[in-house]
Amino acid sequence: MSFDYAPFFRADLPPAAVRWSGFPEYNFVGGHNDADGVPVEALATALTNVMQRDGKRLATYGMGYGALGYGPLRDSIAAMLEARAGMATDPDNILITTGSLQGLDLVNGALLAPGDTVIVEDVSYGGALSRMRGLGVDYVGITVDEDGMRMDHLAEVLAAQKQNGVRPKYIYTIPTVQNPSGTVLTVQRRRDLLDLAVEYGVPIFEDDCYADLLWDGERPATIRSMDQTGQVIYCGSFSKSIAPALRIGYVVADWPVLSRIIPLKSDGGCGALEQMALAEYCPSQFDGHVDELQTLLRGKCTVMVNALEEQFGAAAEFSAPKGGIFIWVTLPETVDTDQLAKAAAAQGVLINPGSEWSADADSGRRRLRLCFGHPSHETIRGGVARLAEICHAEFGVPVRGANVER
């Protein structure tokens, strides 16, 4: 007989996990990346080199660098942020985190309490929105167009909130390769966003974890680089640019913020081998690697776009993303993507229904997010064809698909 834990669990736990059963045949969810795009050998070599020099530091928590993380990695990140994102950064303003996910949890842990309000883009990262809901925080969505968050709408919302005595805890934005829209906030809007944040006295939380994968156009300066007062908290990650399983991200913020976040990071530090390998690898190889990875992902993006056009025709509306690993698709009004996602999962096709990626869940009901970083060209084509068949069977659209009259 099993011991009964029911009386012992907290009453407010999330639903129980289900046992892992492997990836399905067509996996279009999750921030996985291309298996051939991981610099496996170079990372192993980098680690071997740095271990010879610095391996004894493994004997101490924090490798002798304290809670912020491995010093040489913070130096590397600072150099990359300056060169690639136009952001001069003191390495002591960088906290290494277990992916940007821990960064979100730590920033939220310091700032958000039940009943608080935050501002988000009206389509946004599902994991950020679910975290806010889990914390009992309300979010208000700002319209996103092809140039990112619309500043006229943001100004309206901030004015209305002020009128109502609401001071949002932060404005959460993914300005570069926005998740899920794939858009890039223009430089002018970045300036306007910071101006509005200053005017209303609201922090900005800038999540830049896809920015290294921008292939269409120049990478704009970060919003934090335009800020002289520490009003912008920034986070980034190596999950998309190197490998998600490494679990190395970072928060960039001024000390008054970092000093309140650090005590919440109760895990004794992030993995040393990842930090050491990246510190050694990045200065000489990151830029070249990311160029190759972009080419690879751009090719997959093209395959995805072509497959959608071929299988869904006019039934699927979308803009090709400017980088990254996902595409945001709008289907006809008759389609409910929550229902589609369920039907597709039953047939081995995983998709993100738009409701989970939308501040207003209802407005996302005919939208979906498809990730193309991990599947092969062939899998993308096969999966989109199967998705079109399922969508046709459930909703009668697309009318034609897979070169077959339905």
Q: Between 16 and 405, whose beta carbon lies closer to its own copies?
A: 16
Task: Please report whether residue 271 would count as binding its own copies according to CB under 8 A.
Answer: yes
Give the shortest CB-343-to-its own copies separation in angstroms.
Answer: 23
Task: Please report whether residue 5 would count as binding its own copies according to CB under 8 A.
Answer: yes
SS3 at position 253:
coil
Provide the phi-psi class of 330: left if phi over 0, else alpha when psi is between -120 and 50, else beta.
beta
Give the shortest CB-365-to-its own copies separation in angstroms.
Answer: 25
Give the shortest CB-51-to-its own copies separation in angstroms.
Answer: 4
Near its own copies by CB under 8 A: residue from 155, 187, 226, 273: 273
Near its own copies by CB under 8 A: residue from 163, 266, 378, 403: 266
| Residue of 270, 295, 398, 279 lying closest to 340 (CA atoms) | 398
Give the shortest CB-59-to-its own copies separation in angstroms.
Answer: 4
Q: Which of residues 94-113 bind its own copies (CB under 8 A)?
A: 98-99, 101-102, 105, 109-113
Q: Between 13 and 88, whose beta carbon lies closer to its own copies?
A: 13
Q: Provide the token pair at 79.
A: 């150099």
Task: Please report whether residue 22 would count as binding its own copies according to CB under 8 A.
Answer: yes
Cis status, amide bond into 398, omega within 30 of 0:
yes
SS3 at position 192:
helix
Near its own copies by CB under 8 A: residue from 219, 260, 298, 400: 260
Q: How far apart are CA 168 and CA 100, in angstroms?
A: 22
Q: How far apart are CA 139 and CA 203, in angstroms?
A: 15
C-beta of residue 102 within 8 angstroms of C-beta of residue 265: yes
Q: Between 184 and 246, whose beta carbon lies closer to its own copies?
A: 246
C-beta of residue 231 within 8 angstroms of C-beta of residue 249: no
Task: Please report whether residue 272 would count as binding its own copies according to CB under 8 A.
Answer: yes
Residue 354 gets which letter from DSSP?
G
Provide the phi-psi class of 259: left if phi over 0, else alpha when psi is between -120 and 50, else beta.
alpha
Q: Binding segment for its own copies among 28-36, 136-144, 177-185, 283-291 (CB under 8 A)? A: 28-36
Give the shortest CB-9-to-its own copies separation in angstroms.
Answer: 6
Q: Rounded to an integer, what is the distance from CA 159 to the centroid of its chain? A: 28
Give the shortest CB-170-to-its own copies separation in angstroms.
Answer: 8
Q: Beta strand 249-252 with 94-97: parallel, antiparallel or unpaired?
A: antiparallel
SS3 at position 375:
coil
Near its own copies by CB under 8 A: residue from 119, 209, 223, 258: 258
Task: Please report whether residue 295 would count as binding its own copies according to CB under 8 A.
Answer: no
Pattern of binders to its own copies over 143-182, x per CB under 8 A?
Answer: ------------------------x-xx------------
Q: Which of residues 181-220 bind its own copies (CB under 8 A)?
A: 203
Tell me, what amino acid is at 348? Answer: G
Give 95-113 as a 3 state SS string: EEECHHHHHHHHHHHHHCC
